[in-house]
Amino acid sequence: MLKGKDKAKGMLCMVLHAHLPFVRHPEYEDFLEEDWFYEAMTETYIPLLQVMNGLMRDGVDFRLTMSMTPPLVAMLQDELLQNRYLHHIEMLIELAEKEVVRTQFMPDFNDTARMYLRKFRECRSVFADQFGRNLVKGFRALQDAGKLEIITCGATHGFMPLMEMLPNACRAQVAMARQSYEEAFGRSPRGIWNGECGYYPGLDEHLAENNIRFFFVDTHGILHASKRPMYGVFAPLYCPTGVAAFGRDLESSKSVWSAEEGYPGDYNYREFYRDIGFDLDFEYIKPYIHESGLRINTGIKYFRITGRTAHKEPYNERRALEIAASHAGNFLYNREKQVEYLSTLMDRQPIVVSPYDAELYGHWWYEGPEFLNFLFRKVHHDQSTLDLCTPSEYLEKYPRNQVAVPSMSSWGHKGYCEVWLEGSNDWIYRHLHKAAERMIELANTHRNEGDGLKVRALNQCARELLLAQSSDWAFIMKTNTMVEYAVKRTKEHILRFSDLYFMIKSGHIDEGFLRDLEWKDNIFPNADFRLYADR
């Protein structure tokens, strides 16, 4: 909660869910899907750090809650990916330098080319010089300063409602997440973002076991709880275990998420789908696209959304930032009016919980980080109606809350499991469930195992299962984007798990095969297969 907002009518809790699947391929020099990570670094994670550190520098008090999933944290800390990102940003700087020259007599584009050159140089400086290639240091420092609350997520963003029948597997996802968080941030996580905002009654038992105090559900998870929620989604519910569930506010979410009404669709904002990787001459752009010659996004985009038309007008950074400031003002005004009204109905300050994918801010909505910058500055300087808080702060101020069980829910399309269990991806679950059953069997059989090689194989089994359980693969199959890669990853991890399983059962482990997997799939270096054992 902010200083000087003691008389605020209500609180706003902004939540960013930062997640990418674990994509790391040391066996290739240039791997296309690793670009997901590099793009998010350049357009989301570094700009968010710049915004928050700028607020700190200017004495602007703010609060932000951010989930950083274990796969993302592992990639941010991985030396191979750090080195590859440095090469990536240096190539972008080189390309931007060429673009400044190429567009020098094109006034509609030259200012934008210079903008990219400036930003890419800043990214390199923040990444390499300020944080020594490890952005986790930057986020951790903001948490230690009390401005940012970082929460965890299931170990590999598994979709828990479809793992309910295997409680040991759910428990392992949570316990491994807690362990990963403690190693990265030097403290235990107080909150968790369950993958895809997925919840089923009873999941909170695993959270309570790991001393996690709160999680989030979509709106209907609260509204359809076992008891009618006294305050709707504007106060948390306590599960019977004492873990708090915060519900998403529809109104504030819609103003950003909605394709029709949301701020990111403004015609002055940058057009995501026009990139020089596709627009410019092949021989010119060839050194900056995939080594196979496949055209890809470079991140340099010269046009604004303009309208629902193929014709696009040049992007104007100054105008886009003016609109972002206006949208921040509108968002704040609406939240002020919202809490003013709610405060007349409640005997406590309402909390408006506004969760979004972090990658929306910067990657998809290029001006998103500046929107947050303007919003936090306006909250600090321009009003006294609204306070900012984290979930932990709200629970500290209001430790007594209604007890009820949230309903099974997710924040996916239609609100339940349809995205992750339908015709394109239903085939994966018999394999995932069988592998989880076998993992539990191994953990129970070998819980006192003393053979070093066998313990390594058992721990690698846990890694392969966790990586196979990532909800991203089912989501990609459903959305029909990089389907071949998602299918490949699912099959690879299941097959690697199965090979290790039968080696362990036979007593003959191929150490060379195991060493190769430990090199490729090196997430969770301190993984402990015993987390899957019965209690």
Nearest to 241 by CA among 219, 283, 211, 270: 211
The pLDDT assigned to 504 comes to: 98
Tell the CATH topology of 421-532: immunoglobulin/albumin-binding domain-like (1.20.1430)
Check if the beta carbon of residue 177 is closer than 8 Å to that of residue 150. no
Sign of torsion, CA 176 181 184 186?
negative
Tell me yes or no: is domain 13-22+70-77+134-265+350-420 CATH 3.10.105.10.
no
CA distance 114 to 355: 33
Q: Where in the chain is the domain with CATH 1.20.1430.10?
A: 421-532
> Residue 409: phi, psi to the nearest 5?
-165, 165
- Alpha-carbon distance of 516 to 496, in angstroms, equals 11
User: pLDDT tens string for the chain (535 positions)?
Assistant: 777 778 899 999 999 999 999 999 999 999 999 999 999 999 999 999 999 999 999 999 999 999 999 999 999 999 999 999 999 999 999 999 999 999 999 999 999 999 999 999 999 999 999 999 999 999 999 999 999 999 999 999 999 999 999 999 999 999 999 999 999 999 999 999 999 999 999 999 999 999 999 999 999 999 999 999 999 999 999 999 999 999 999 999 989 988 678 999 999 999 999 999 999 999 999 999 998 899 999 999 999 999 999 999 999 999 999 999 999 999 999 999 999 999 999 999 999 999 999 999 999 999 999 999 999 999 999 999 999 999 999 999 999 999 999 999 999 999 999 999 999 999 999 999 999 999 999 999 999 998 999 999 999 999 999 999 999 999 999 999 999 999 999 999 999 999 999 999 999 999 999 999 999 999 999 999 999 999 8
Every domain of the chain with CATH number 3.20.110.10 lies at 13-22+70-77+134-265+350-420
Q: Cα separation of 279 and 128, whole Å?
A: 30
Task: Give strand pairing partners of 66.
Answer: 16, 150
Report how far residue 8's alpha carbon sits from residue 388's, in angstroms, rounded to the nearest whole number.
10
Do the beta carbons of residue 529 and residue 462 sit within 8 Å? yes
Q: Does residue 361 contact residue 367 with C-beta atoms inside 8 Å?
A: no
Round to whole Å and give the CA distance between 489 and 466. 12
